[in-house]
Amino acid sequence: MPLRWRLATWWTLLQISIEERLVYRADFALGTLMRFLPIVTQIFLWSAVYSAVSDSHDGQIVGYTYHNMVAYYLLTMVSRAFSSMPGLASGIARDIRDGSIKKYLVQPIDMLGFLLVYRIAHKLVYYAVAAGPLALVFFLCRGFFDGWPDSTTLAAYALSLVLAFLLGFFLEATIGMIGFWFLEVTSLLFVYMLVSFFFSGHMFPIDMLPGIWGTLVRAIPLHYLAYFPAAIFLGKVQGSALVWGLVIQAAWVVLFCILSRVSFWLGTRRYSGYGG
């Protein structure tokens, strides 16, 4: 198929997915706004924690002041807006279980490509709807930031967010492919969600983890989903560490891109569809 036709197909798919996402826009906007509520309790919790920490640790926890910590939580919300893929792995596993995956096998369309475009459309709509509430929250909380970082840091931050999106997508897609081997993967997905929430840095900066735990978490890709972009913005990762971090993040993306492709190929070799 010529490239022009192929692009036209993906463009149409993107448009359809955007239309679909906008059907329940009021519910979607309300849900988006509600998602910001937990940050309120986090602000108060950390304010209370830091009020007790002041004397013994110079008002800092692992190099984070109270303002840094709140800024960190706000920034991880942005990271997660890029890297979280609700329903992706469970959707793939469900399609495998109920047989609807065969539509990708008989139609001239690549499943991973389709899901990626579909996800991009969902994210674009999400950013369009969330931009208002997000801007409001950041404006109200602007006092927690020390100002804008320099342009190089901002560029690195933007790149790390795009890589976080791709890593989140291919990582979850690979996990979804496990459905080819185990039909029921709900518990596995819950475990992944749990581990991801804790070790991605969504719950707290992973710098807080002591000793071997910190080393271990830095060795796995999860912290590139939330912690790494936020740490770049706050200037916690700089110089060669920043460059290496981005290179390793990109390497994880490539690895999971290949893994998802290989597991789909292997999975479809053993897949059997029955009935009509």
Partner 1 sequence: MWRYVRILITCARNSLVRDMSFRTNFVLETISSLSWVLMNLGFYVLIFRYAPEIGKGTGWGQYQFFMFLATGLLINSVVQMVFMINAEEFTEAVRTGALDFVLVRPIDTQFFISIRRFDWSALGNFLLGIALGVYALGKMGHLPTALQLILYALYVGCGIAIYYSLMIALAAATVWMGRNLTVLDFWFYITIFARYPMEIYSGPVGGVLRWAFTFVLPVLIVVNVPARMLLRPLLPQSTAEWMLPLFGLAATVACLGVSRWLFQKALENYRSASS
Interface ranges with partner 1 (CB under 8 A) = 27, 30-31, 34, 37-38, 40-41, 44-45, 47-54, 56-57, 61-62, 187, 190-191, 194, 197-198, 203-204, 208-210
> 7 vs 34, which CB is nearer to partner 1?
34
Contact between 208 and 124 under an 8 Å Cβ cutoff? The reply is: no
Question: Dihedral of CA 82/233/55/209: which sign?
Answer: positive
In the complex, minimum distance from the CB of residue 51 to partner 1, in angstroms, rounded to a whole number: 4
> 158 vs 183, which CB is nearer to partner 1?
183
In the complex, minimum distance from the CB of residue 104 to partner 1, in angstroms, rounded to a whole number: 28
In the complex, minimum distance from the CB of residue 192 to partner 1, in angstroms, rounded to a whole number: 11
Residue closest to 242 by CA, chosen among 159, 145, 123? 159
In the complex, minimum distance from the CB of residue 176 to partner 1, in angstroms, rounded to a whole number: 19
> 210 vs 276, which CB is nearer to partner 1?
210
> 63 vs 273, which CB is nearer to partner 1?
63
Q: Give CA 268 to chain center in angstroms.
A: 27
> 124 vs 208, which CB is nearer to partner 1?
208
In the complex, minimum distance from the CB of residue 208 to partner 1, in angstroms, rounded to a whole number: 5
In the complex, minimum distance from the CB of residue 40 to partner 1, in angstroms, rounded to a whole number: 7
Between CA 13 and CA 82 the distance in angstroms is 20
Residue closest to 172 by CA, chosen among 253, 106, 242, 89? 89
In the complex, minimum distance from the CB of residue 10 to partner 1, in angstroms, rounded to a whole number: 31
64: which strand partners? Answer: 61
> 168 vs 205, which CB is nearer to partner 1?
205
> 48 vs 266, which CB is nearer to partner 1?
48
